[in-house]
Structures are given as C-alpha cells and as structure tokens.
Amino acid sequence: MGALSPAVKKLLQGLLAAMIGSAAALVLYLPGWLDNWEARTWDWRVRLLAKPGKATEKIHLILLDQNSLDWGSKENGLSWPWPREIYGAVVSFCKRSGVKSLAFDVLYTEPSKYGVDDDRSFGAAVADFNAFTGAVFVSQETGAERKWPAAVP
C-alpha cells in the first residue's frame, strides 16, 4: 500500500487536531470549570461581538411599568398583582392584531389570588395563541440546571 498523499495527510492532521480540541473542551466544560471564565467575560464578549441590528417596525414591546400600575389603580381600581384575565385579554388582542409570536417575561409562581377561573382564563388565551413563550424556572436553585430538564416540554 502506498504512502498517503499530502492532501490526505493534511485532512487527517486537521481531524486529529479537531478531536483533541473537542476532547479538551469537553474535559473543561463538563465539570463546570469554564463557568467562572464564561461569567467574567460575558459582558466583554457581548460588547465586542454583538452589533445592533437595524430597527424594525415588526417588533413591538408592551411594557408593564410603574406608570402602568399607577394607571391600572387609578382608572380601573386594579391592585398588584393584576388579575391574569387582564394578561389573557392582552394575549387575545395580540392574536386578533395578527401578532405572530408573543413572549411574557413574567413568572407565575403561585395560583392567582383571584381564583382558579382567573388562571383558566389566562391559560385558555395562551393555549389559543399557539406561539406563546413564557418565563420558567427549570430548577429549585438558581443555576443548578445545566440542561433543559426532560420533564419540561
């Protein structure tokens, strides 16, 4: 059998280097040894590498801030937390308006203080929307999960 051509040798050397590099990365990653470095360099890397995109009219933000809470209290007698049927109305409005996807950065960690029907109303609106994403905890402890739990769809 003849000697390997220079092109095949180069390919094999590249594959060997990739395998060694991947193995070294896994050895450092799996026990969590890269986590500290990741956290310390995150802001720097984002500032360096993340370039702002062009502004678009296709993305809108519905912000619930202190002014919103004050308005809800003054105009509608709503105290915090608002009934979830209010959020359901927002979800339904977005669907009727042609919104393609919707995300809520709100954690609903306890049943509604307005009762089960309030939760059901919101849940029905979310289920009807189909392209809804909500915030979740995947663990009892912050940072304890390193991957998405199989039990969470």
How close are the terminal C-alpha atoms of the chain, in Å?
A: 54
Say if residue 83 is in the same domain as residue 118: yes
92 lies in which domain range?
Answer: 54-153
- Give the chain's mean pLDDT: 88
Say if residue 125 is in the same domain as residue 142: yes
Say if residue 22 is in the same domain as residue 59: no
Q: What is the pLDDT of residue 54?
A: 86
Say if residue 91 is in the same domain as residue 139: yes
The answer to whether residue 109 is domain-embedded is yes
Q: What is the pLDDT of residue 114?
A: 92
Say if residue 28 is in the same domain as residue 66: no
pLDDT single digits (tens) 17-39: 999 999 999 999 888 888 888 88
Q: What is the pLDDT of residue 122?
A: 94
Say if residue 79 is in the same domain as residue 40: no
Say if residue 26 is in the same domain as residue 58: no
The CA distances from residue 34 to 23, 83, 116, 128, in Å, are: 14, 43, 44, 41
The arithmetic mean of pLDDT across residues 56-78, rounded, is 90
* Banded model confidence at residue 43, pLDDT cuts 50, 70, 90: confident
Provide CB contacts within 8 A for 28, sequence distance 6+. 34
Q: How far apart are CA 106 and CA 130, in angstroms?
A: 18
Say if residue 87 is in the same domain as residue 26: no
Say if residue 76 is in the same domain as residue 43: no
Total count of domains within the chain = 2
The answer to whether residue 1 is domain-embedded is no
Q: What is the pLDDT of residue 1?
A: 55
Say if residue 112 is in the same domain as residue 148: yes
This prediction's pTM: 0.59
Say if residue 74 is in the same domain as residue 109: yes
